[in-house]
Structure 1
Amino acid sequence: MKTPGNPISPQGMAALRARYDHLLGEERPRIVDIVSWAAGNGDRSENGDYIYGRKRLREIDRELGHLSRRMKAARVIDPGAPTDPDRVFFGAKVTIADEDDVQRIVQLVGDDEADAGDGRIGWGSPLARALRGASVGDVRIVRLPAGDKEWEIVAIDYA
């Protein structure tokens, strides 16, 4: 199953959209009001509210542009109905074990919704690339800066 572009789950796309809407509809107008008020106070060169507000507006606009580009490039994929549930594809929760039989569960998600601390790894990460298409019992080698590491696929779940 080839997944072109930037795959993302429906929940991940909803989170991007919510962040975009919050910045555009709530935070940016609030900062614009502050900057307008501060600009009316006179000398702008030493006006902290004006200087900080302008800086924050640039940050918000930069993030809005980034979110807009990510949403345009995103391809929403519902991982609930895989074509081959015995293989690892987007959205799979995979139980893997290393050489010392230490197991961990990872879920393959879009790069924009990855959170390694929560077990969600980005589709483009080295581990996710190594796991793609694997079946239970397969051993995959992941090339890391500290050296190669082998992982065995113990279980695959799409629930």
Structure 2
Amino acid sequence: MSRAFVKETDGQDDVALPERPQSPHVNYITPAGFERLQAQVRELSALRNSLAEREDLGSRQQLKLVERDLGYYTERLRRAVVVQPEGQPGDRVHFGATVEVEDAEGQRTVFTIVGEDEADAATGRISWVSPLARALLNARVGQTVLWKRPIGDKELEIISIGKG
């Protein structure tokens, strides 16, 4: 039989994926974010188990991605420090707070300060390590803070502070 018809591995099955880098910051997270992270680990574990039972090449390749992500999120969960909102000061901007700000043009915006894994700028959920959150943290209602941005600094007045 000709060697042309014999399936040989091309070595791609054995290529190790690079690990997803972990943030150097403390993994502060809200209770809701912690629950979502736990759910994600459960979902990835179930997917890994399902893929491990299959023998096709596509499943084996997908399994490597799932295992890498599972390792990443398991470590994020292990490093998580859940911050309870009721233990935070009500008179200052803090982790987990929802903050309404107003800029010089009168434009009002609401942000919630959350963990890195929970951040979603499109919905106003900003990471506590972001430049905007760092400018807001510890400010009080009525205080003006300076948000240092690459496109130019912007002053924001704190209008209200609420629990996340």
The TM-score bracket by the shorter chain reads 0.7 to 0.9
Q: Confirm or deny that 1:154 pairs with 2:159.
A: yes
SS at match of 1:86: coil
Residue 102 of structure 1, CA deviation: 0.2
1:104 counterpart letter in structure 2: T
TM-score normalised per structure 2: 0.81
Aligned amino acid, residue 115 of structure 2: G
What SS is found at the alignment partner of 2:148? strand
Higher helix proportion = 1
Counterpart CA distance in 2 for 1:125 and 1:69 is 21
Give the TM-score of the pair, scaled to structure 1: 0.83
Matched residues in 1 for 2:102 and 2:80: separation? 31
The C-alpha deviation readout for 1:50-85, integer Å capped at 9, x for no partner, is 221111011001101110111122100111342x21
Unaligned 5+ segments in structure 2 are 1-24
Q: Does 1:33 align with 2:53?
A: yes
CA displacement, residues 113-132 of structure 1 (integer Å, 9 cap, x when unaligned): 11111111111111101100
**For residue 42 of structure 1, what is the aligned residue in structure 2?**
none
Q: Which residue of 2 aligns with 1:47?
A: none
After superposition, the CA RMSD in angstroms is 1.3
Letter in 2 for 1:29: N
1:22 aligned residue: 43
CA distance, structure 2, for counterparts of residue 29 and residue 143 of structure 1: 46
The alignment covers a number of residue pairs equal to 140
1:143 to 2:143 alignment: no
The higher relative CO (CA closer than 8 Å, separation ≥ 6) is in 1
**SS of residue paired to 1:144:** coil
2:106 to 101, 108, 113: 101
Q: How does 1:26-105 map to 2 (within 5 A)?
A: 26-35=46-55, 50-82=56-88, 84-105=89-110
Deviations 1:114-157 (CA, angstroms, capped at 9, x unpaired): 11111111111111011000001111111111111111111111
Q: Distance in 2 between matches of 1:72 and 1:133?
A: 28
Runs of 4+ in 1 over 2 A off after TM superposition: none
Q: 1: distance between equivalents of 2:52 and 2:75? A: 23
Deviation at 1:10, TM superposition (A): 1.0
CA distance in 1, matches of 2:57, 2:129: 39
Which amino acid letter does the alignment assign opposite residue 133 of structure 1? N
What is the letter of the counterpart of residue 15 of structure 1? Answer: R
Taking only the aligned residue pairs, the percentage that are identical comes to 39
Q: Which residue of 2 aligns with 1:119?
A: 124
Alpha-carbon distance between aligned partners in 2 of 1:147 and 1:102, rounded to the nearest angstrom: 17
